Every structure is written in C-alpha cells, then in structure tokens.
Copies of this chain bind each other. A is one copy, B any other.
Amino acid sequence: MTQTAAILRTGRKFDQVLRGAREVFLADGFEGASVDDIARAAGVSKATLYSYFPDKRLLFTEVAQTECKRLAENVISMIDDSKPAREVLTIAATQLAAFLVSDFSQQVFRVCVAERDRFPELGMAFFEAGPQNGQRHMVEYLEKAVEKGELAIEDVQIAAEQFSELCKVRIWTKAALGIQTSFSKSEIDEIALQAVDMFMARYGV
C-alpha cells in the first residue's frame, strides 16, 4: 500500500516529474491528461518519465496520495480552545468555508469524483485525509466544550458533520459545478456567521 510498486524515488528528476504530473492531473483529470503533456509540463522527456514511473496509473496514484497528505496537514490547527465557543466556531467556520471552495480543495475533489470508478480507493483516501480527519478534530473540540458546559450536544459526531456541512451553504455547490469560482471575504464571512448562528441556536446553552 505504501510502496505501490517499483517506483524509483531517487534520481534528480523525480520531484520534477511529480510536480508536472500534479499540475496536469489536477487540471485535466486522469483521462484528460496525456503523458506527453505531463512530460512537457515537467520539463522532462517522456522516456525519462517512464524510467521513474512504470505507467500512467501509478504516476497518478502517487500524485493523489501526496495531495491527500498535504490536505490532511492543511486541515489541522484550525481550533483553539481557550476562547469562548462562539468565537472559536466562527474562526473555524470562516477558515473551513474558505478552504472548501479553494482551488486546491475543489480540484482534488473533482478528480476523486470523476475518477471514482477507475480508482475506487482514491475517494476513500481523500475522505479519510480530508473530511473525516477534519471532523475528528472538531469532535475533540466539541467534547471539551460540552465538558466545560459551553455547549449542549447529545451526539457530537453528527454535530461536527452538521457544522462542516453548514459551512458549504451557498458557496460549495456553485464552486463544484464551476458556476462561481472565486468568493469574496464578505461572502465567506456571511456563510460562516449563518453557520455559527444556526449551530449555536441548536447546541448553545
């Protein structure tokens, strides 16, 4: 699983190839990206590319795994206990909403959905690294807040899921369908505010 197959991870041009592949795959998906395009984007000959990666699929999964790891790291550290719940949630909602409609997040999601049948394990990897990972942190925070008596939640798991879902309102679907691709700070803030208002109405003390 960790070492999918015989991939030379050494060599001067390895990272260069990977960067080119990342760029083209995220832009065009798996089928849409031609190996020639990738080689060109990487500034490397096709033969060199094939000396590092035995085939296109393996190159793709390598890129996808790397991206999922980056995603996981990005999600962490959105939460800071000490402050009052409403404030913490507002900050988290704002950052989450902004992240959810970011180019990066959208491209990864798009490739996962588009390539779902060709790479069934990809959706799972993305889900664990992204949504599930973020929700785990959220659950931890909510539990502490409940202990402190700041919130009253029966089912913290579903509360966490509802919270992240509320951060998608109005903006996420539009981004996913390509209807609107950039969002102003005030649009984001408005959604975050509405999300927190609803969350606190339900779970506030």
A22: interface (CB < 8 Å): no
Partner of A124, one of B114, B170, B179: B179
Q: Which one of A45-53, A140-148, A157-165 is at the B interface?
A: A157-165
Asked if A29 meets B202 with Cβ closer than 8 Å, knowing A165-B166, A177-B127, the reply is no
Instruction: Mark A108-129 against chain B: 1 for CB-CB distance below 8 A, else 0.
Output: 0110111011001001101100
Evaluate contact between B198 and A123: CB separation under 8 angstroms. Answer: no
Tell me whether A177 and B123 are in contact in the complex, defined as CB-CB below 8 angstroms, given that A158-B170, A165-B168, A169-B165 are known contacts. yes
B178 in contact with A169 (CB, 8 Å):
no
- Which residues of the partner chain B approach A165 to less than 8 Å between Cβ atoms? 165-166, 168-169
A79 to chain B, nearest CB (A): 20
Contact, CB under 8 Å: B112 / A114: no
Q: Please determine whether A114 and B29 come into contact, CB atoms closer than 8 angstroms.
A: yes
- A31: Cβ under 8 A from any B Cβ: yes
Interface: A182 (CB within 8 A) = no
Q: A residues near B, CB below 8 A?
A: 28-29, 31-32, 109-110, 112-114, 116-117, 120, 123-124, 126-127, 131, 155, 158, 161-162, 165-166, 168-170, 173-174, 176-179, 194, 197-199, 201-202
